[in-house]
Amino acid sequence: MNHIQKVGFTLILAVLSFSAGSIATEPGKSSGTAVDDAYAAKLWTYMLENRLIGENRVRSFPFVGSRPHGSIQEFIATEATIDGQKGRLLIKHNYGAEEKLTPKEVYAADHDEYSEPLAIMFQREDGYDPVNSNWFWAEYNPDGSVLNYQGANLSGRSPLCLGCHTPLGGKDREVLNGIAK
Ligand code: HEC
């Protein structure tokens, strides 16, 4: 390695370590940080205000789902605007306190009765996380706080969510749309 090569090499290393160091705070690269949780809170407020969750919320007919989500689920695909950015919003209500629940029972029951954590995907601006179709992921406790699973808050570019939705969902990372994977 001559001197010029050495300088070039050192520069590349510097760039690499800079990008590695900044990963934690870059949008689309972080998950479970205060910034991600704050963004998840905005989505929660949006959903409440638009009756997508909470009392008198819009219902869709439940279906039998699979774990780790509820044994019975309700799904709504809509659009939301957060900080002036419009994107698709996929909302999944999960039920399953009793494994033998049926979709009809869930539909008839008070909607909170069998609830498990709410799971959502919101498609953010181009460039947020392009490799993964720019989804922001979140899972919530009933009070709207972000669910903590094994020490990690489930908000942002969650590796846990992507771990399943990449193989099961294919390029768009969506499972239920059934588009050939
Ligand atoms: C172990 C696999 C697995 C993991 C982990 C997982 N999911 Fe899913 N997800 C599924 C499956 C399977 C479906 C289709 C519905 C069903 O049968 O449960 C789904 C469906 C969804 C949907 C409805 C839209 C779609 O893609 O079909 C949302 C929203 C969702 N998941 C959010 C999340 C979030 C948020 C996380 C992380 C906190 C997560 N998921 C983690 C397997 C997983």
- Cβ of residue 62 lying under 6 Å from some atom of ligand 1: no
Quote the pLDDT of residue 96.
83
In this structure, the residue with its CA closest to atom 31 of ligand 1 is 119
* CB-CB contact of 131 with 123 (8 Å): no
**Is the entire prediction scored with pTM above 0.75?**
yes
Closest atom of ligand 1 to 175 CA is 27
Quote the pLDDT of residue 28.
65
Tens digits of per-residue pLDDT, 117-139? 999 999 999 999 999 999 999 99
How far apart (Å, rounded) are the C-alpha atoms in residues 171 and 181? Answer: 7
- Cβ of residue 43 lying under 6 Å from some atom of ligand 1: no
Tens digits of per-residue pLDDT, 26-74? 666 899 999 999 999 999 999 999 999 998 899 999 999 888 888 899 9
Phi-psi region of 45 (alpha: psi -120 to 50; beta: other; left: phi over 0): alpha
Quote the pLDDT of residue 8.
46
Quote the pLDDT of residue 122.
98
- Cβ of residue 169 lying under 6 Å from some atom of ligand 1: yes
- Cβ of residue 93 lying under 6 Å from some atom of ligand 1: no
How far apart (Å, rounded) are the C-alpha atoms in residues 131 and 162? Answer: 11
